[in-house]
Amino acid sequence: MSGQTSTLISNIGELMTQDAEHRVLKDAAVVIEGERISWIGPASEAPSADEHVDAEGRAVLPGWVDSHSHLIFAGDRTAEFEARMAGQRYSAGGIAVTTGATRAASDEELTRLAAGRVAEAVSQGTTYLESKTGYGLDLENEARSARIAAATVDEVTYLGAHLVPAGADAEEYTDLVCGPMLDAVRPYVSWADVFCERGAFTEDQSRRVLTACRDAGLGLRVHGNQLGEGPGVQLAVEFGAASVDHVNYLSAADIEALAGTWGGWDASTGTGTRGTVATCLPACDLSTRQPLAPGRALIDAGVQLALAANCNPGTSYTSSIAFCVTTAVLQMHLSVHEAVRAATYGGALALGRESGNDVDGERAVGSIAVGHRADLHMLKAPSATHLAYRPGIPLTFAVWRAGVREV
Ligand SMILES: N=CN[C@@H](CCC(=O)O)C(=O)O
Ligand SMILES: [Zn+2]
């Protein structure tokens, strides 16, 4: 063993690895060394370590990988939520309310709020998070949002193309998003996204944004098919986006197109050419009273799925991935293993951080295997099934993030 502190977690009732072989081990143990996993196997064969944690039969999963959130904001949209619960439809226009509050907040306030949301997520088992910009909507505030996000979360996505701000011309604003605003955020971000939807950005504007961001070297993601059928999914496929998110309204052709992107992928080994992940956001679907995304049909068609919380003030003010997993099992007809996989490995895949194409696993999150980041979630339960069997019960018992015990 190296000079780093090692921790043996033994007596694990169920170790759901979500590794390449989809292994679920009983009576297992894990050794963490520094920030990585150095050993997994039967508890009876575990090596000794500097520290020892007795899991007392509890289940251990990879930490949740939340691949879709909007954490850089100030303000509150309770009134909009109440109106929606009274029958009003969600529309993209509500974003402007948050933009006003976000622009008015100081750097310190935005940082404090974002860090608080990250802490809330980690306390519930999330160990790897993405956040988007998208409530600044001018050059200065998008750059500021990107800078704060880069200091707060693991992966940052540029979403200048979230809404055309009040008073702006849509074509001129799209030029700004594709030009000077992109240059300003570029040092802080590795992904770009566009809200391709009625009331937000048209197909043509979305295509311009995706082209400029791809040319700037950013990985791509798309908010698509959230409020109705539309071009989002097909655009994501055309541009080879890492994920298309929401996917509530899909035609048979959309599902077929997404499945086609996974033709060069070997799902049993997690190797080959990555396609476009379909990211389902069930908490958002419930909070906006949209139909749940057809996760079952997507998996059956061969599409790789992610589940994410989409924490934001408008459509999904929660960071609870457990709630998403519960809903995916109870309402979307995923098995517990599929739902947990989508919320761990699937999120990592959507962020290019799964291990398949990375032989030594150095960058890998979202699965438990030797060499991967030690992101572990121990449940107050003997199996992951309890996430669905005991809906609403806070089941997080312990969390390690990059080898550090956080809960
Ligand atoms: N759909 C677009 N963006 C966010 C909601 C933004 C808002 O309403 O503030 C989402 O992912 O749901
Ligand atoms: Zn979103």
Asked if 245 and 287 touch (Cβ cutoff 8 Å), the reply is no
Residue 356 inside a domain? The answer is no
As given in the structure block, the two tokens for residue 311 are: 């924490």
Does residue 98 line the site of ligand 1, with CB under 6 A? yes
What predicted TM-score, i.e. pTM, was given to this entire model?
0.98
Label residue 391 left, alpha or beta by phi (over 0 means left) and psi (-120 to 50 means alpha). beta
Q: What is the 180 CA–ligand 1 centroid distance (Å)?
A: 24
Does residue 81 line the site of ligand 1, with CB under 6 A? no
Asked if 384 and 61 touch (Cβ cutoff 8 Å), the reply is yes
Task: Give the closest ligand to the alpha carbon of residue 157.
Answer: 2
Nearest atom, ligand 1, residue 310 CA = 11
Nearest atom, ligand 1, residue 246 CA = 11
For ligand 1, pick from 66, 81, 245, 312 the residue to mutate: most ligand atoms within 8 Å of CB: 312
Residue 23 inside a domain? The answer is yes
266 and 302 assigned to the same domain: yes
Does residue 314 line the site of ligand 1, with CB under 6 A? yes
215 and 339 assigned to the same domain: yes
Domain containing 53 — which CATH number?
A: 2.30.40.10
274 and 306 assigned to the same domain: yes
Q: What is the 192 CA–ligand 1 centroid distance (Å)?
A: 15
380 and 261 assigned to the same domain: no
Q: What is the 39 CA–ligand 1 centroid distance (Å)?
A: 41
The helix or strand, by DSSP H or E, that contains position 301, with its residue range, turns out to be helix 295-301
Task: Give the closest ligand to the alpha carbon of residue 197.
Answer: 1
141 and 261 assigned to the same domain: yes
Alpha-carbon distance 94 to 205, whole Å? 20
Residue 27 inside a domain? The answer is yes
Q: Give, for all 407 residues of the chain, the pLDDT tens digit.
A: 467 999 999 999 999 999 988 999 999 999 999 999 999 999 999 999 999 999 999 999 999 999 999 999 999 999 999 999 999 999 999 999 999 999 999 999 999 999 999 999 999 999 999 999 999 999 999 999 999 999 999 999 999 999 999 999 999 999 999 999 999 999 999 999 999 999 999 999 999 999 999 999 999 999 999 999 999 999 999 999 999 999 999 999 999 999 999 999 998 888 899 999 999 999 999 999 999 999 999 999 999 999 999 999 999 999 999 999 999 999 999 999 999 999 999 999 999 999 854 555 667 999 999 999 999 999 999 999 999 999 999 999 999 999 999 99
84 and 138 assigned to the same domain: yes
Does residue 356 line the site of ligand 1, with CB under 6 A? no
Predicted local confidence at residue 363, as pLDDT: 79
The dihedrals phi and psi of 214, each to the nearest 5 degrees, come to -60, -45
Task: Give the closest ligand to the alpha carbon of residue 200.
Answer: 1
Residue 111 inside a domain? The answer is yes
Q: What is the 351 CA–ligand 1 centroid distance (Å)?
A: 19
Task: Give the closest ligand to the alpha carbon of residue 95.
Answer: 1
Residue-level length of the chain: 407
Residue 219 inside a domain? The answer is yes
- Give the number of C-alpha atoms closer than 13 A to the C-alpha of residue 327, restricted to the C-beta side: 22
Q: Measured at the alpha carbon of residue 219, what is the angle toward residues 322 and 399, in degrees to the nearest 5?
A: 30
For ligand 1, pick from 69, 95, 117, 159 the residue to mutate: most ligand atoms within 8 Å of CB: 95
Q: What is the 95 CA–ligand 1 centroid distance (Å)?
A: 7
Q: What is the 1 CA–ligand 2 centroid distance (Å)?
A: 43
Domain containing 200 — which CATH number?
A: 3.20.20.140
Task: Give SS3 for 385.
Answer: coil
Q: What is the 2 CA–ligand 1 centroid distance (Å)?
A: 46
Residue 1 inside a domain? The answer is no
204 and 320 assigned to the same domain: yes
214 and 295 assigned to the same domain: yes
What's the number of domains the chain is made of? 2
208 and 289 assigned to the same domain: yes
In 262-357, where do the E strands start and end?
Answer: 265-266, 271-272, 277-280, 305-307
148 and 56 assigned to the same domain: no
Look up the domain containing 321 and give its range.
Answer: 64-350
Predicted local confidence at residue 118, as pLDDT: 98
Q: Which residues are annotated as a binding site for Fe(3+)?
A: 68, 70, 223, 310
Nearest atom, ligand 1, residue 197 CA = 1
Residue 114 inside a domain? The answer is yes
As given in the structure block, the two tokens for residue 339 are: 């739902």
118 and 83 assigned to the same domain: yes
259 and 316 assigned to the same domain: yes
For ligand 1, pick from 76, 90, 197, 223 the residue to mutate: most ligand atoms within 8 Å of CB: 223
Residue 396 inside a domain? The answer is yes
Query: Is the ipTM here above 0.85?
Result: yes
Q: What is the residue with the minimal CA distance to atom 11 of ligand 1? A: 310
Does residue 131 line the site of ligand 1, with CB under 6 A? no
